[in-house]
């Protein structure tokens, strides 16, 4: 695939009433998501089996609380654990680390990995690059934390949606070079220079309506100050120099997600740097340290979408396989 070609390079200032509409939309979504997760955390409803081992606040970011998951089988005399740093999604404006409790708990216990779920300041109160800077500071603090039982030579970072973008963004920071062995990016936004219309054009013709088509512009407004350089590599990570990223990358896209096309272009560009041969299939392949996977027939965030019946069964199976594939790749390519 060709290099990403920007169709716009600066984020424009929106008209007043459009900004008001976006603000109200974000506020309503934030309120609903908080109510939903508070209900899930009520006594009698809360799943105590997936709660973190403990929480931790670092002096560099005293308002942000991170959740630490130590495998239940781990004993103090055991060997140091691999570390996975998780960053939750939510359009840079919603959710919190507890929204990833199920993933973090299951991934930690199933694979004997220390998982730290990282918080970050949310837009629109804290627009770009606030989240990038905060996560970078916290990652640096975690890597210097001698109280955590992890092997500094076996470290990966990853996240979902906005969190996937942040994982690719912070790994470019000079302070973290050579300290992160790999990135796992689940359905990330990677390129703000392409328009919504251009993104939608990459989807299958029979794809259902995309929720991000209506919500994406509001999230963009909340995250991007007017005049933001949309080609900045810690924002549009599709433009990140290969040498700034960890050697091992696993990028996952969803076929029915309008973000998938940009992610695939990014994966192919990075994979073409080097002399290695591509191994795999059209939709799942590896080359020069990059693994790309397109989850066929699924939408953005399918693995956390509420569902019932046959759809729920299908999602659970696909989610389990996706996370198992990630674990296999981490232990084969990063945790070695």
Q: How many residues does this entry show for the chain?
A: 336
Mean pLDDT by 10 residues, the chain (336 residues): 65 96 96 87 87 98 99 96 99 96 98 99 98 99 98 98 99 97 99 96 93 94 97 98 98 98 98 96 98 97 92 95 98 98
Contact 285, 278 (CB under 8 A): yes
Range 16-334 has CATH code 3.40.50.1820:
yes
State the pLDDT at residue 259.
Answer: 98
198 three-class SS: helix
Run of H or E including 249: strand 248-254
**Nearest Cα to Cα of residue 91 among 143, 36, 159:** 159
Strands 248-254 and 182-186: parallel
State the pLDDT at residue 241.
Answer: 98
d(Cα 153, Cα 306) in Å, to the nearest integer? 37
DSSP state of 229: B
Q: Which two tokens stand for residue 231?
A: 């080609």
Run of H or E including 191: none
**Nearest Cα to Cα of residue 253 among 241, 240, 262:** 262
> Residue 134: CB partners within 8 Å, gap ≥ 6?
61, 64, 120, 121, 126
Contact 204, 256 (CB under 8 A): yes
Task: Compute CA 202 distance to the chain's CA centroid, rounded to the nearest angstrom.
Answer: 21
**Whole-Å CA distances, 138 to 63, 193, 206, 231:** 11, 28, 42, 25
State the pLDDT at residue 45.
Answer: 85
Q: For the beta carbon of residue 107, count every other beta carbon within 10 angstroms.
A: 22
d(Cα 295, Cα 255) in Å, to the nearest integer? 6
**Nearest Cα to Cα of residue 175 among 227, 234, 223:** 234
Strands 279-280 and 54-56: unpaired
State the pLDDT at residue 5.
Answer: 57
DSSP state of 8: -
**Whole-Å CA distances, 155 to 13, 91, 140, 162:** 39, 25, 12, 20
Task: Indicate the domain borders of the chain.
Answer: 16-334
State the pLDDT at residue 7.
Answer: 58
**Whole-Å CA distances, 136 to 141, 146, 159:** 9, 18, 14
Spatial strand order in the sheet of 248-254 = 54-56, 66-69, 114-118, 81-87, 150-160, 182-186, 248-254, 290-295, 284-287, 279-280
**Whole-Å CA distances, 235 to 48, 92, 166, 167:** 36, 12, 8, 11
State the pLDDT at residue 38.
Answer: 84
């Amino acid at each position: 695939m060709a290099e990403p070609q920007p169709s716009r390079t600066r984020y424009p200032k929106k008209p007043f009433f459009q900004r008001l509409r976006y603000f109200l939309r974000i506020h309503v979504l934030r309120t609903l998501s908080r109510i939903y997760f508070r209900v899930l955390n009520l006594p009698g409803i809360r799943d105590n089996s997936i709660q973190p081992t403990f929480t931790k606040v670092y002096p560099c970011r005293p308002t942000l609380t991170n959740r630490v998951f130590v495998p239940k089988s781990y004993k103090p005399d055991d060997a140091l654990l691999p570390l996975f740093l998780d960053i939750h999604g939510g359009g840079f404006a919603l959710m919190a680390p507890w929204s990833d409790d199920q993933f973090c708990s299951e991934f930690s216990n199933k694979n004997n990995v220390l998982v730290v779920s990282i918080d970050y300041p949310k837009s629109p109160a804290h627009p770009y690059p606030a989240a990038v800077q905060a996560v970078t500071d916290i990652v640096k603090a975690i890597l210097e934390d001698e109280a955590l039982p992890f092997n500094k030579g076996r470290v990966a970072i990853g996240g979902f949606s906005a969190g996937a973008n942040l994982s690719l963004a912070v790994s470019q920071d000079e302070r973290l070079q050579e300290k992160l062995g790999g990135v796992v990016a689940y359905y990330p936004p990677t390129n703000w220079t392409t328009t919504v219309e251009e993104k939608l054009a990459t989807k299958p013709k029979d794809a259902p309506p995309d929720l991000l088509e209506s919500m994406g512009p509001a999230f963009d407004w909340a995250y991007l100050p007017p005049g933001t350089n949309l080609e900045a590599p810690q924002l549009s990570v599709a433009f990140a120099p290969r040498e700034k990223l960890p050697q091992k990358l696993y990028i996952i896209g969803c076929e029915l997600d309008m973000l998938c096309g940009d992610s695939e272009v990014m994966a192919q560009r990075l994979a073409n740097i080097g002399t290695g041969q591509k191994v795999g299939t059209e939709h799942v392949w590896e080359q020069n340290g990059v693994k790309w996977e397109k989850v066929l027939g699924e939408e953005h965030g399918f693995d956390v979408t509420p569902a019932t019946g046959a759809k729920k069964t299908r999602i659970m199976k696909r989610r389990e396989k996706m996370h198992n594939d990630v674990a296999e790749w981490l232990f084969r390519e990063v945790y070695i």
